Amino acid sequence: MAKNTRIIAAQTLVRVLDGGQSLTSALENTLSSLENPQEKAFVQAVCYGVCRTYHRLQFLLSQLLDKPIKDAEIYALALVGLYQLAFMRVKTHAAVSETVDATPKKKSWAKNLINALLRRYLREQEQLETLANSNPVALHSHPKWLVSRIENDWGEKAAQIFHAANEPPPMILRVNVLQTTRENYLKQLTDLEIEAEVVENCPSAIRLVKPVGVTALPNFESGMVSVQDTAAQFATGLLELRAGQRVLDLCAAPAGKTAHILETQNDVECVAVDIDATRMLRVETNLQRLNLSAQLIVGDATQPETWWDGKPFDRILVDAPCSALGVIRRHPDIKILRRADDLTVLPALQAEILKSAWSMLKEDGLLVYATCSILKAENENQIEKFLAENSNAQEIPFAENPAKHGWQILTGENGCDGFYYARLRKVNFPA
Ligand SMILES: C[S@@+](CC[C@H](N)C(=O)[O-])C[C@H]1O[C@@H](n2cnc3c(N)ncnc32)[C@H](O)[C@@H]1O
């Protein structure tokens, strides 16, 4: 490879670790500046890998250093070096020398440091890894507060959740049934030798055996298919859509679920609302690609008086802003960027959005509440509280989870992202 991709990966990681930028957007800038597909793939794999294993690497580094590395770029380069040795199938000699060579010229003081710590890791690898396994943060590669929160909510199931969150996710497609059938699309994939299989219990979902770039997908540009996890594809079926209904998709951007609603039942009046004008631009692009249309409103879900025309809705999807802890496997930077404090702010916002959505629902209408979280505070506790405060809300239970409020899919369950759904019917008699 022509460029030293190690330093490019390290600089990308600095934007996440120090700059607080999301990995998706940091990588977008980096990858657009690289031309060689191999270089792109390597930088992407290293950046995702370092974020996934960050808390373990951080622990290992602390064992290898007498004092912390203050320079952010050199610290990130040390993480990149260690990640290759601990997790990638690379030739160790090349990994060490390439990482040492990646040290920027004006920071030549760091060459010896990087060299020494990587070589020491190789010498003491076994003891260091055993030590890491005895530390819960390093073992699960999740921050301490998150280990506690998830263990507190899920007890014995927590270890499986951490494990699934650290695995690379499958690539799942959603076939646009307005344009073709799932069987037909599967055949198009097979013709191109893209290995794939149907996902049971999810009518429009296909799982790729190996992820590919969207440009490799047949008829992607003409909207025959989209990328969306199986768990997210359950939303539409739960809405029980019928022709002629007025449907509100609250918190809609970037329109994964809006699009699926329209693909499933095109004869509805669909209003999609999101507070974020920039994300709303992506809604437009996404719907255009799929040749679908909805009424798009940039608005605050907690203040419907500023945008709602007063006509109630038959169906409302509240895909609430949440901690996104169920999708860590797709966005491992969440473990680095999310703060414990967010988990006090988010449930309050979700409750406000739910309350305002309820005021826009027709009598006998159905509201589906969704999050991509696995925390009870954002999910079943939220719904429990809502039911206690709203006597005209009746829960439609799930066969999968009859004892609790709603349906909690834990990360990795049946191959899905972590997700939560609850269904609430508005009744005209108190419960
Ligand atoms: C989980 S994402 C929605 C994903 C989307 N439903 C999909 O399937 O593609 C949550 C969205 O809530 C939006 N949001 C956050 N606070 C909001 C508010 N007060 N009013 C409306 N939208 C809000 C965010 O901008 C974000 O786009």
Query: Which residue segments constitute the domains of the chain, with CATH numbers given?
Result: 5-141 (1.10.940.10), 171-227 (3.30.70.1170), 230-426 (3.40.50.150)
Tens digit of each residue's pLDDT (9 = 90 or more) over 296-339: 999 999 999 999 999 999 999 999 999 999 999 999 999 999 99
Amino acid residing at 241: L
> Which tokens belong to 245?
């209904």
Calculate how far, in angstroms, residue 382's C-alpha sits from the geometric centre of ligand 1: 17
CB-side exposure of 138: number of CA atoms within 13 Å? 17
pTM of the model: 0.95
Task: Identify the CA nearest to 379 among candidates 153, 156, 145, 146.
Answer: 153
Q: Which residues contact 28 (CB under 8 A, 6 or more apart)?
A: none
Q: Select from 275, 285, 306 the residue to mutate for testing ligand 1; criterion: most ligand atoms less than 8 Å from CB.
A: 275
Is residue 1 pLDDT above 60, yes or no?
A: no
Instruction: Output the ligand 1 site: residues, CB below 6 A.
Output: 251-257, 273-276, 279, 300-302, 319, 321
pLDDT digits 0-9 by tens, 364-384: 999 999 999 999 999 999 999
CA of 301 to the centre of ligand 1 (A): 9
Query: Distance from the CA of 343 to the center of ligand 1, in angstroms?
Result: 16
Q: What is the pLDDT of residues 186-228, one digit of tens each?
A: 999 999 999 999 999 999 999 999 999 999 999 999 999 999 9
